Amino acid sequence: MTDKLIIVESPAKANTIKKFLGGKTKVVASMGHIRDLPKSKLAVDTENDFEPQYINIRGKASLIKSLKKDAANAKKVYLATDPDREGEAIAWHLAHILDIDTNSICRVTFNEITKNAVQQAVANPRKIDMNLTDAQQARRILDRIVGYKISPVLWKKVKRGLSAGRVQSVAVKLIVEREEEIEKFIPEEYWNIYVILQNSKAKKKFEAKFYGKNGKKVELHSEAEVKKILADIENKNYIVKDIKKSEKKRTPAPPFTTSTMQQEASRKLNFSLKKTMSVAQGLYEGVKVLDKGSVGLITYMRTDSTRISEEARKAAKEHIEKVFGSNYYENRYYKTKGDSQDAHEAIRPTYVELDPERVKQDLSNEQYKLYKLIYNRFIASQMAQAIFDVVSVDTEVNSYNFKSSGQTIKFDGFMKLYVETLDNEKEEDYTKIPELAVGEELTGEKPDTKQSFTEPPPRYTEASLVKALEEKGIGRPSTYSPTITTILERRYIEKLQKQLHPTELGKIVNKLLVENFPDVINAEFTAKMEQEFDDVADGKEQWKKVIREFYGPFSKVVEKVDKELEHVKLEPEVTDIPCEKCGRMMVVKYGRFGKFLACPGYPECKNTKAIVQEIDVPCPKCGAKVQIRKTKRGKNYFICENNPKSCDYISWNKPKVGEEYVEEPKKKAAKTTAKKTTAKKKRVSTKKK
């Protein structure tokens, strides 16, 4: 019989903590959730105060049997699932299955998988926190009700298999609204004038930009305005009117939260949210490091806190002073937002001595990149400010004003290690302005002019959408990645060159939901519900009361919408392409892999065809049109319209004008085929024996 049985969520986590616990201790994994609501029905008894009807997850019978056997052979069972609401709920479900009293001291949590943290957690177990469990139940059940009550409306009016969700539908709404802003945007013309100035002493050049006239800012909207100014300043000298020198300081960004990690990994590493969370999970649960065995390299990766422990702060100080010098260290605290769940620290390395280069050989390329990002961000957060010398110069020519600005780094501080990337960030101006004096005459080269047009707001990227969701209070650290992954998989949106575009299907679904469920599919309602879940977690609110207050008005709206839409038929988009079989004009339909053309005469005529996208570059091999098609996984490829009849051109890469055709190598495919053939031969020969 074992003294202790510790149940965690994953085998990787189990392997990492085994070595920290001596004696007769066994560590096993539950492989995530063990019980859940069944997919086949609502499974929430709305007539019996929303009692959930949980079942054991299909396919886990043998695992449950094994866990029960291990629990029966242990003197004490500890539930050490992840330290968040989801982990607390999994522990509660495990207690139910293993007949453990939820009021008993059976729950163990740790924010980092280190020897000290694990041993302290096991030495100080607690009861299952029912407030955290109920907060998870409230979210799960409310989302189940919204999804299972609204989705059938989409099935009736658009097509079967579609889904609506409290958070995912709001995310789609944000993307659709941004697309509408872009479509409605009317660009406005504006001009800039630039001139290269030079002082007579040092003969050093620098750039100045037109500002205005007589000290007042003037915006230029036409070429005529620009030409008048150019005529007025032709062959005139520029006079230095004012020089301002100042010092600017830049503070490092705080250590990562889930949101900022996802944003920065997207911008710097081009990682999707899903990949970022998957790689981070592996770094948290444990990686085999030479001479150390399996080691958890980072703290728990689902957090919205920027707090760090005093031990971590001390370790960072020692590292910075040793590597960079004491002048690079600054003891720094960061404020956590008022609505954040401050149960965990920020995301940081667990062992500062394990710098990225030291463990590089033990990590995959993706693990190394993300670990380096997390490590450097944390160390930089405890480093001194960067200091810049800033110079601003105002010059005047015939009553017109030009401005110049430049900066030089006086002390690099944290920037020696890490600089945060921001969306639509302007490049830092490191122009050096020569020594000048007020009243000094400068000569100017022939001015350059630039015509520009105002641009619409940018489309969301995964990073900027996460930022928007966080700012609006929609979702929590654990929900950003699955939300965006879901709407991509449902094909409500698509990702093109990192930008998120709504599909036609997404626009139709959004229109139907927003028009009929405006009180549910909106950011304010979603943020309000998140706050109520937080109140449940804090013990300020009862979870069934939250669901009760929501369900009454919601069920009436669903009933009303269902009746109103009963006789409404959404007409499909009619094209100008005739059906080759019956002559009717084909319509746009939506299938598993996107849009396609179908004959409206179904079922008499079942003709369908793909919607063909063409590019404006001819086939490099035969000169015909090149079409864009998608694989089943949604990846674009380029193919000649004559393929396979008279031309076999096909490529992953978009052809360029004038490009010479080169046969793409097929060695890899041939090798794979060869392996398959060999494997097949082996199987055949085994059977003969």
Six-digit token pair at 438? 């007020």
What percent of the residues of the chain are helix, what percent strand, and what percent coil, each to the nearest 5?
40, 20, 40
Name the nearest CA neighbour of 467 among 251, 261, 636, 622: 261
Could you give the CA distance from residue 510 to residue 516 in angstroms, rounded to a whole number?
10
Beta bridge partners, 610, equal 596
CA 523: distance to chain centroid?
18
Helices (H) and strands (E) in the chain, counts: 18, 27
Radius of gyration of the chain (CA): 31
Which residue is catalytic, options 211, 238, 284, 300? 300
Which two three-digit tokens encode residue 387? 């200091």
Q: Which of 178, 175, 179, 6 is nearest to 76 (CA)?
A: 6
Distance CA 503, CA 511 (A): 12
**Sheet holding 585-591: strands in order across?**
574-578, 585-591, 594-598, 608-610
Residue corresponding to tokens 């037109």: 210
> Tokens at residue 5, please?
């049985």
Q: Using an 8 Å Cβ cutoff, are 629 and 640 in contact?
A: no
The 3-class SS string of 289-315 reads ECCCEEECCECCCCCCCCCCCHHHHHH
Do 240 and 438 meet the contact criterion of CB atoms below 8 Å apart? yes
Q: Are residues 384 and 414 in contact, defined by beta-carbon separation less than 8 angstroms?
A: yes
Cβ contacts of residue 522 below 8 Å, gap of 6+? Answer: 170, 173, 514
**Is 238 designated active site?**
no
> How many residues does the structure list for the chain?
689
Question: DSSP class of residue 433?
Answer: P
Structure tokens at 651: 């490529």
Residue 341, number of CB atoms within 10 A of its CB? 19
Active site residues: 300
